[in-house]
Amino acid sequence: MAEGVDLKAQMNQLIRGYWTTQAIFVAAELRIADLLADGPKHPDELGRQAGVKGDMLYRVLRALASIGIFAEDDEGRFMLTPLADTLRGDSGQRAYARLHGHELYQSWAKLLDAVRSGEAGFVEAFGIPIFEYFSKNPDRGAVFDKAMTGHHGPEADPMLEAYDFSRFKDLVDVGGGNGSLLIAILKRHPQMRGVLFDLPRVVERAGPGIESAGLSERCRLVGGSFLEAVPGGGDAYLLRHVLHDWRDEDAAVILRHCRNAMQPSGKVLVVEIVVPAGNDPSF
Ligand SMILES: C[S@@+](CC[C@H](N)C(=O)[O-])C[C@H]1O[C@@H](n2cnc3c(N)ncnc32)[C@H](O)[C@@H]1O
């Protein structure tokens, strides 16, 4: 009996997982963590500053406090916690919450349709493929770029420790987003030149970052689609978290384009999530 009750409670938590996603999304959109940077505040004051209803905001913050994001003191004021602190400023973590709470949330709401139709959930929700959407909505595209840096950025140092990039002279980062990984590689290897290749709008947004890293001389920005071609002449083609976005046929096209474009002795470097056999979590 006791076991049954626990299982039901556990299942209820899982069923209501979307409450958490949306509550974090509200805090991220309203910049609640920034509003609390100078000390605890009452939800009414926070509501006034954020332009929302204080009593409604209280409910969201109380829910988040129950999972360690913000904490309420004896006077009913909320304060930052280490978890809440990750949402401060223009951090990639905040962008990650904004991306998941908005476009990705709506796409996951179409999961059943996707399973039935075989179409991507994003297309079911928005009517166009994800990267076309972000090209047409540059503000949201910038949120996506930043979310990627927030999510994958910490991988750069371990990658650079684990793999010897010094053997390459011309590295093409295919689908390189805002260039944060390429910047880290080029800074570590001053003899190397790089090409940041991504969709035209993405590359446009990446320009200032490359420039302020002082890498304009060694890093070329090329806009285009890897479904059509990739820039030629590199001795390394890096695909980090790119292939998993595509069906097998498209992934094969992208890889073939890299093969055709590279120097004869070139290498394709794939950094990707691999779902292991068995039941261990991998998402
Ligand atoms: C999941 S993100 C990974 C970004 C980056 N490589 C990283 O590790 O953070 C996938 C990238 O592929 C790019 N992309 C999508 N479609 C593309 C296309 N047709 N041609 C070139 N790049 C594309 C996106 O703009 C995005 O920057």
Amino acid 282: pLDDT: 78
Predicted confidence (pLDDT) at residue 131 exceeds the cutoff of 90: yes
Mean pLDDT (whole number) for 219-223: 98
Cβ(88)–Cβ(94) under 8 Å? Answer: yes
**Residue pLDDT, tens place only, 155-204:** 999 999 999 999 999 999 999 999 999 999 999 999 999 999 999 999 99
Amino acid 3: pLDDT: 59
* CATH superfamily of the domain spanning 163-271: Vaccinia Virus protein VP39 (3.40.50.150)
Amino acid 256: pLDDT: 98
Q: In angstroms, how far is CA 212 from the centroid of its own chain?
A: 22
Write down the catalytic residue from 189, 241, 244, 257: 244
What is the domain partition of the chain in residue ranges? 2-85, 92-151, 163-271
Share of the chain above pLDDT 70, in %: 98
CA distances (Å), origin 129, targets 77, 133, 135, 174, 210: 43, 6, 10, 19, 28
Cβ(25)–Cβ(100) under 8 Å? Answer: yes
Lowest pLDDT segment from 4-8, 10-14, 118-122: 4-8
Q: Distance between CA 105 and CA 137 in Å, rounded?
A: 17
Cβ(35)–Cβ(49) under 8 Å? Answer: yes
Amino acid 102: pLDDT: 98
Amino acid 280: pLDDT: 86
Name the residue at shortest CA distance from atom 16 of ligand 1. 131
CA dihedral (183, 189, 191, 194) positive or negative: negative
Distance 253 CA to ligand 1 centre (A): 15
Distance 128 CA to ligand 1 centre (A): 16
**Residue pLDDT, tens place only, 266-282:** 999 999 988 889 998 87
Q: How confident is the model at residue 2 (pLDDT cuts 50, 70, 90)?
A: low
Active site residue 102: no
Residue ranges around ligand 1 (CB below 6 Å): 131, 148, 152, 175-177, 181, 198-199, 202, 225-227, 240-242, 245
Name the residue at shortest CA distance from atom 27 of ligand 1. 177
Amino acid 276: pLDDT: 87
In whole numbers, what is the pLDDT of the chain averaged over residues?
95
Amino acid 274: pLDDT: 85
Amino acid 91: pLDDT: 83
Mean pLDDT (whole number) for 112-135: 97
Amino acid 281: pLDDT: 81
Mean pLDDT (whole number) for 50-71: 98
Share of the chain above pLDDT 90, in %: 92
Cβ(262)–Cβ(230) under 8 Å? Answer: no
Predicted confidence (pLDDT) at residue 97 exceeds the cutoff of 70: yes
CATH fold, domain 2-85, is Arc Repressor Mutant, subunit A (1.10.10)
Q: How confident is the model at residue 4 (pLDDT cuts 50, 70, 90)?
A: low
Name the residue at shortest CA distance from atom 14 of ligand 1. 175
